[in-house]
Amino acid sequence: GEDVEQSLFLSVREGDSSVINCTYTDSSSTYLYWYKQEPGAGLQLLTYIFSNMDMKQDQRLTVLLNKKDKHLSLRIADTQTGDSAIYFCAESMSYQKVTFGTGTKLQVIP
Amino acid sequence: DGGITQSPKYLFRKEGQNVTLSCEQNLNHDAMYWYRQDPGQGLRLIYYSQIVNDFQKGDIAEGYSVSREKKESFPLTVTSAQKNPTAFYLCASSIRGSEAFFGQGTRLTVV
């Protein structure tokens, strides 16, 4: 079955870049997503990438996909205290359910 | 505005009672999902439904039940058979295989 793994915790200083990593097992994944969860709230979609892409940039966010190694990363440039949250990686195939990783808690130190 | 709504935001249950969590969406999405989140842990899939009148068990379905009589609605019942129901419950919907949109969650506490 599908499996998505992430490290549990990341701490960075304000202004530095954050890199959150994710590995997945299903080579048939079509879409890969990054979600953000603030305390006591639902998840918000940050960005996504199709499996036929290597990179996607959206303002401070850069997503890198290494399909050969089944590795996805999210880079947040100039990390701010408002970026402190839990970040979830997720994957899906067309017309199949979405599978989420365990989430990485990002702590930004002022 | 289109969106997905969970209610109530907070719910308290006595031991031995069944409770039902509501999830409604007006996004015209075919697929709907229920997840459980425990403190410091990721999302665990309870049930999902790809189409009306059909649903499948997720990874932790024991002690839970669902129905999908309407496209817009996917209520979750936490039964007395669920031994440790205190958690944060998240409902989501999607066009099948595409990004999921989440509700704001229901925090269930057993008292």
The tens digit of pLDDT for each residue in B48-81 reads: 999 999 999 998 999 999 999 999 999 999 999 8
pLDDT at A87: 97
Does residue B21 have a pLDDT over 80?
Answer: yes
Tell me how far apart the terminal alpha carbons of chain B are, to the nearest angstrom.
Answer: 36
Average pLDDT, chain B: 92
pLDDT at B1: 62
In chain B, residues with a C-beta closer than 8 Å to the C-beta of A6 are: 42
Tokens 């959150």 locate to: A20
Between chains, do A40 and B105 touch, taking CB under 8 Å as contact?
Answer: yes
pLDDT at A94: 63
Does residue A95 have a pLDDT over 70?
Answer: no
Does residue B39 have a pLDDT over 90?
Answer: no
Contact B101, B69 (CB under 8 A): no
The answer to whether A90 contacts chain B (CB < 8 Å) is yes
Average pLDDT, chain A: 90
Strand B106-110 to strand B10-13: parallel, antiparallel, or no bridges (unpaired)? parallel
- Contacts of A82 by beta carbon, 8 Å cutoff, 6+ apart: none
Is the model more confident about B53 or about B42?
A: B53
pLDDT at A1: 53
Q: Which residues pair with A91 in a beta bridge?
A: A32, A99
Using CB atoms, pick whichever of B31, B48, B104 lies closest to residue A41: B104
Total Cβ atoms within 10 A of residue A20: 21
Between chains, do B50 and A98 touch, taking CB under 8 Å as contact?
Answer: no
Helices and strands (DSSP H and E) totals, chain B: 0, 11
- Mean pLDDT within A56-68: 94
**Low-confidence winner among A35-49, A88-102, B48-62 (lowest mean pLDDT):** A88-102
pLDDT at A28: 77
Does residue B87 have a pLDDT over 80?
Answer: yes
**Low-confidence winner among B4-8, B89-93, B97-101 (lowest mean pLDDT):** B97-101
The confidence band for A108, taking pLDDT boundaries of 50, 70 and 90, is very high
Between chains, do B42 and A94 touch, taking CB under 8 Å as contact?
Answer: no
Does residue A91 have a pLDDT over 90?
Answer: no
Tell me the per-residue pLDDT of A63-89, one tens digit each, with 9 for 90 and over.
Answer: 999 999 999 999 999 999 999 999 999
Q: Which residues pair with A99 in a beta bridge?
A: A91
Nearest CA in chain A to B55: A97
Between chains, do A102 and B41 touch, taking CB under 8 Å as contact?
Answer: yes
- Contacts of A22 by beta carbon, 8 Å cutoff, 6+ apart: A4, A5, A6, A32, A71, A72, A73, A74, A89, A101
Task: Compute the distance between CA of residue B84 and CA of residue B99 in angstroms, rounded to an integer.
Answer: 30
Q: DSSP letter for B36, please.
A: E
Contact B75, B32 (CB under 8 A): no
